[in-house]
């Protein structure tokens, strides 16, 4: 449930903020009558996102061969890691420019007087986040996505909507940047867990070597078959008895992303 909540809260928050910025800008610039087209595009995007989620679930449950299902999940996990890594890096460098960039695009759209462009902007904003959500949840849970994940996802969307409404109704003190950092950090850990699990799956189907099996035994601290261990396994890809290649993949990914996120701060100042 927590995984579904976290993912939909993060993605829903980004989508609702984009829609909120568009509606706010249209109202302030005297184009309030175009707001309805934003809701049309957002509604179409939401329907498309749900259809995409059902398609993912249908594909996962349609495999009779266990090996075929594993190969499919490996492919989706690979794509999910690439997309979510890009999303994390892009958001960390562009979040503070999001509002200004969006307003510039919106001003250009309004200068052309294209209603279709407004619908398309809101449609793509919702569809993109919906696609990332379906991709991420599909990679983490696959055909084991139960009602608890669904309830967590709905709750995450509700919280994202309430938070966005609070931002646009005057609660300027809400730490938006802080929220993006925290959720981005958690998604970074989940992505690292995805990579570690993917390595384990590649080893199961003999597409990757098993290097030093049982290199680290953490079962005396937390067994991944216990109730708490199952939670951390589902959320962060925790394994209580990983091999060396899984450990290298997990920590190598985290260290690499942290390096890319901080390299601008490490760069020496330019001489005047």
Q: What is the rounded distance in angstroms from the CA atom of residue 20 to the CA atom of residue 174?
A: 16
Using a cut of 0.85, tell me whether the model's pTM lies above it.
Answer: no
CA nearest neighbour of 189 among 263, 81, 79, 72 = 81
Cα-based distances in Å from 215 to 20, 108, 244, 247: 50, 57, 6, 9
List of long-range contacts for 200-206, beta carbons under 8 Å, 24+ apart: 200/239, 200/242, 200/246, 201/70, 201/73, 201/74, 201/77, 202/74, 203/243, 203/245, 204/70, 205/67, 205/70, 205/71, 205/74
Written as tens digits, the pLDDT of the chain (272 aa) is 566 777 777 778 778 877 887 777 777 777 777 788 888 888 898 888 888 777 776 766 666 666 777 777 788 788 878 877 877 777 666 666 666 666 676 666 666 666 777 788 788 888 888 877 777 776 666 656 667 767 777 888 888 888 877 777 765 555 556 666 776 777 788 788 888 888 888 888 888 888 777 777 777 787 777 767 766 776 677 787 888 888 899 999 999 888 887 875 555 544 43
CA 245, CA 213: separation in Å to the nearest integer?
A: 9
Q: Where are the domains of the chain?
A: 2-266
Which letter, b or e, does each residue of 68-82 get, where b requires 16 or more Cβ atoms within 10 Å of its Cβ?
Answer: ebbbbbbebbeebbe
Residue whose tokens read 């993949």: 249
Q: Which of 133, 187, 176 is CA-nearest to residue 157?
A: 133
């Amino acid at each position: 449930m927590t995984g579904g909540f976290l993912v939909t809260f993060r993605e829903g928050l980004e989508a609702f903020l984009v829609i909120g910025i568009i509606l706010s800008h249209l109202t302030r610039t005297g184009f309030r009558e175009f707001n309805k087209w934003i809701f049309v595009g957002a509604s179409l995007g939401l329907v498309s996102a749900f259809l995409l989620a059902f398609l993912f679930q249908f594909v996962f449950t349609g495999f009779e061969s266990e090996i075929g299902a594993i190969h499919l999940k490996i492919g989706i996990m690979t794509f999910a890691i690439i997309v979510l890594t890009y999303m994390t890096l892009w958001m960390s460098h562009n979040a503070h420019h999001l509002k200004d960039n969006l307003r510039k695009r919106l001003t250009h759209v309004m200068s052309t007087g294209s209603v279709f462009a407004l619908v398309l902007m809101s449609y793509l904003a919702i569809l993109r986040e919906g696609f990332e959500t379906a991709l991420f949840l599909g990679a983490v849970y696959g055909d084991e996505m139960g009602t608890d994940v669904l309830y967590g996802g709905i709750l995450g969307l509700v919280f994202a909507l309430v938070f966005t409404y609070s931002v646009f109704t005057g609660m300027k003190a809400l730490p938006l940047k802080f929220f993006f950092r925290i959720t981005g950090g958690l998604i970074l850990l989940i992505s690292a867990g995805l990579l570690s699990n993917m390595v384990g799956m590649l080893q199961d189907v003999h597409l990757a070597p098993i290097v030093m099996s049982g290199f680290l035994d953490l079962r005396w601290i937390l067994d991944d078959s216990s109730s708490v261990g199952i939670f951390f396994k589902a959320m962060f890809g925790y394994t209580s008895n990983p091999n060396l290649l899984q450990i290298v993949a997990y920590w190598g990914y985290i260290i690499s992303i942290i390096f890319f996120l901080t390299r601008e701060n490490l760069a020496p100042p330019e001489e005047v």
